[in-house]
A = this chain, B = another copy of it.
Amino acid sequence: MNTDKQIAGKITPRHQDYGQWYQDVIREGDLAQPAEVVKGCMVIKPHGFAIWEKIQAGLDRRFKATGHKNAYFPLLVPMSFIKREAEHVEGFAPELAVVTHAGGKELEESYVIRPTSETIIGHFFSQWVQSWRDLPLLINQWCNIVRWEMRTRMFLRTSEFIWQEGHTCHATHEEAQEETMRMLDVYAEFAQQVMSMPVLKGKKTESERFAGALATFSIEAMMQDGRALQAGTSHDLGQNFARAFNIKFQNKEGKEDFVWQTSWGVSTRLIGGLIMTHSDDNGLVLPPQLAPIHVAIVPIFKNDDEKIRVMNAVEKIAAELRALVYGRDNLSIEIDRREGLSPGAKYYHWERRGVPFRIELGPKDLDKSQVALKRRDGGEKLFIPMQAVSSKMLDLLEQFQNDLFVRAKKFRDENTVSVDSYPALVEAIQAQKFASVRWAGDVAFETKLKEIQATIRCVPLAAESDPGPCIFSGAPAQHRIIVAKNY
């Protein structure tokens, strides 16, 4: 067994070096690799991309169910567009990648590679919207984005990433605000139900707001090192981009007005959140709803006679399992037929790829008409009668899916503390916890938090009234906010 473990690459334990652990899990899970020759970029390998395809499909269905349609806008944005919304250019200018030459010539006006598409989409929306009859306009785009980042980390922050960006126009601010919250809810439901990742829904402070928005809302998840991950954002853009791009409509009373807009996005960053929520010192752990492979079957035999008997049974079980429908697809089953590898090496292989269940089947199991079933996240091997495997599997997967959520939620709750003094806050942050503190809104507090590399993550929407003195200024505060280190 030790030899097998050495054949597989090393995974640094979390307690030893969390950052290295994260990289090891990605490498050993065959999810991605740094591009190196393209600064700050990554290659998403097939196993990682298969997870993204499941995320994309699940979200896309939810966007369409809420009335949105997909479209595609240009990758390149005229430099002048970025400059039209004052806060927007200030926020994005330092991260732009600029195309200055094309077709063998220097361009008269440079293009930037979209860092987000409010500006270019705003330009076209101004042509699409004339009357209240054209509203609401509910558009989504799946695409790649480039933001030239200084410090990058696979999935969590890369110079190029894949995302979706929703862009909508509404007749009233109220409708735009409803849309902003509707999509935040879609993200939260997806994170919790499909990713088994508990999230806090909340409002960002002014300093953490999207460049150009009136208000930004996010879902925030706790990673296993106690840091927060902003996993998705939904922005109330007000009329800022409508003014900059002249997106006007005639309302029912015949008067002209600027539309009210929203935008909202999640990215391949979600995969980073998925990894840091569930994985362990043996590598990747995936919730069944996002696992590209649900069950890996490892046949065990010593000679050709055994092989024939075992493989017959393995094929039969695989066929039964593949006939099961899970979500919108059939179960995905992998039989490990590789030769020259020990069963132990195969176990590690599938473990590191986060396959939720492993079935082992050898001659002794055959004699007892049973299989050995191992759940990826630990516990004893279960021995299950062969004819009961397929009838139990869907329940086992759902149980796994739920257990992951419950465990992550318990972890977050245990690592969130209410503190009422600054020293206690510092202690909580140093102890890798979320700190729940009263705050009266003084922005100087956010500056001070930089000393301990922490930020206000959000003002939770679910925050109950809890009046008392602000942890920073002592002024009266009505409820508690969340402070943490973050990715």
Residues of A whose CB lies within 8 Å of any CB of B are 33, 35, 37-39, 41-46, 49-50, 52-53, 69-78, 81, 93-104, 111, 113, 120, 123-124, 127, 139, 143-144, 146, 148, 150, 159-160, 162
Name the B residues within 8 Å of A123 (CB-CB). Answer: 37
Given contacts A43-B124, A103-B148, A123-B37, contact A72 B49 (CB under 8 A): yes
Q: Which residue of B lies closest to A121 (CB)?
A: B43
Given contacts A70-B49, A76-B160, contact A144 B146 (CB under 8 A): no
Interface of A is mostly: mixed
Contact A98 B97 (CB under 8 A): no
Those 3 A-B pairs whose CB atoms lie nearest each other, nearest first: A103-B148, A46-B69, A44-B72
Name the B residues within 8 Å of A139 (CB-CB). Answer: 46
Contact B148 A102 (CB under 8 A): yes
CA–CA, A124 and B75, complex, Å: 24
Contact A38 B98 (CB under 8 A): no
Q: How far is the CB of A297 from chain B (nearest CB, A)?
A: 19
CA–CA, A94 and B17, complex, Å: 48
Can you list 27 A-B contacts (CB < 8 A)?
A35-B124, A38-B76, A38-B111, A39-B102, A41-B74, A43-B71, A43-B72, A43-B124, A44-B71, A44-B72, A45-B71, A46-B69, A46-B71, A49-B70, A50-B70, A72-B162, A74-B160, A75-B146, A94-B103, A96-B101, A96-B102, A96-B103, A98-B100, A99-B99, A102-B148, A103-B150, A144-B144
Contact A101 B102 (CB under 8 A): no
CA–CA, A6 and B76, complex, Å: 36
Contact B111 A102 (CB under 8 A): no
Q: How far is the CB of A89 from chain B (nearest CB, A)?
A: 13
Q: How far is the CB of A56 from chain B (nearest CB, A)?
A: 11
Q: How far is the CB of A87 from chain B (nearest CB, A)?
A: 18
CA–CA, A23 and B426, complex, Å: 64
Q: Which of B44, B74, B97 contacts A99 (CB 8 A)?
A: B97
Q: How far is the CB of A145 from chain B (nearest CB, A)?
A: 10
CA–CA, A454 and B209, complex, Å: 57
Contact A101 B103 (CB under 8 A): no
Given contacts A53-B70, A72-B44, contact A98 B94 (CB under 8 A): no
Residue among A38, A50, A81 with most chain B CB within 10 A: A38
Contact A37 B148 (CB under 8 A): no
CA–CA, A144 and B117, complex, Å: 15
CA–CA, A111 and B18, complex, Å: 33
Given contacts A69-B49, A70-B46, A94-B103, contact A41 B148 (CB under 8 A): no
Contact B104 A94 (CB under 8 A): yes
CA–CA, A33 and B45, complex, Å: 34
CA–CA, A41 and B35, complex, Å: 28
Residue among A41, A72, A98 with most chain B CB within 10 A: A72
Contact B74 A35 (CB under 8 A): yes
Name the B residues within 8 Å of A159 (CB-CB). Answer: 102
CA–CA, A94 and B103, complex, Å: 5
CA–CA, A38 and B43, complex, Å: 28
Q: Which of B74, B93, B94 contacts A43 (CB 8 A)?
A: B74
Given contacts A101-B100, A102-B98, contact A49 B71 (CB under 8 A): yes
Contact A98 B101 (CB under 8 A): yes
Q: How far is the CB of A65 from chain B (nearest CB, A)?
A: 13
Name the B residues within 8 Å of A103 (CB-CB). Answer: 94-97, 148, 150
Q: Which residue of B lies closest to A77 (CB)?
A: B38
Given contacts A97-B101, A102-B159, 7 further A-B contacts (CB under 8 A): A35-B124, A41-B75, A42-B74, A43-B73, A97-B102, A98-B100, A113-B113
Q: Which of B42, B98, B143 contacts A144 (CB 8 A)?
A: B143
CA–CA, A51 and B240, complex, Å: 33
CA–CA, A49 and B69, complex, Å: 9
Q: How far is the CB of A204 from chain B (nearest CB, A)?
A: 24
CA–CA, A49 and B76, complex, Å: 19
Q: How far is the CB of A144 from chain B (nearest CB, A)?
A: 6
